[in-house]
Structure 1
């Protein structure tokens, strides 16, 4: 990611082997930062699918922070 340009460099994101919940949280963070849709056009509902309670709370906190 480059803050100067305000863009996310997704090429590195695609090369990393992440578990589903980590990938979903990262995609949610990208989406909240600049409305990133990803290559698969993942929806917010898809991002929440499979999150455990702790990661769900992290996601909700990020959304609350972004909306304030």
Structure 2
């Protein structure tokens, strides 16, 4: 995935990405973990549903500690 292009689209043309608000939250969280993409964590947490929030938390654990526990 081209994270730099994704980041640019999220910032300049968010409507170009056809996804729900919660899917966009997951994408923002992922982009912030792999590139220099600033994300409003409060907005991400509020937009994500329960399963997506679990996925985001697991991704953060893996980014911090390597393989998830």
Q: TM-score, normalised by structure 1?
A: 0.72
Aligned to 1:9: 5
Aligned-pair CA distance for 1:50: 2.6
- Which ranges in structure 1 are unaligned for 5 or more consecutive residues? 2-6
Number of residues of Structure 1 aligned to a counterpart in Structure 2:
59
Aligned to 1:4: none
SS in 2 for 1:18: coil
**RMSD of aligned alpha carbons:** 1.8
* 1:29-65 deviation digits (Å, cap 9, x = unpaired): 000112312xxxx411111113211111001001001
- Which ranges in structure 2 are unaligned for 5 or more consecutive residues? none
Aligned to 2:28: 27
Instruction: Find out whether 1:53 has 2:38 as its counterpart.
Output: no
The CA distance in 1 between the partners of 2:63 and 2:19, in whole Å, is 24
The CA distance in 2 between the partners of 1:36 and 1:60, in whole Å, is 17
Q: Which runs of 4+ in 1 moved over 6 A?
A: none
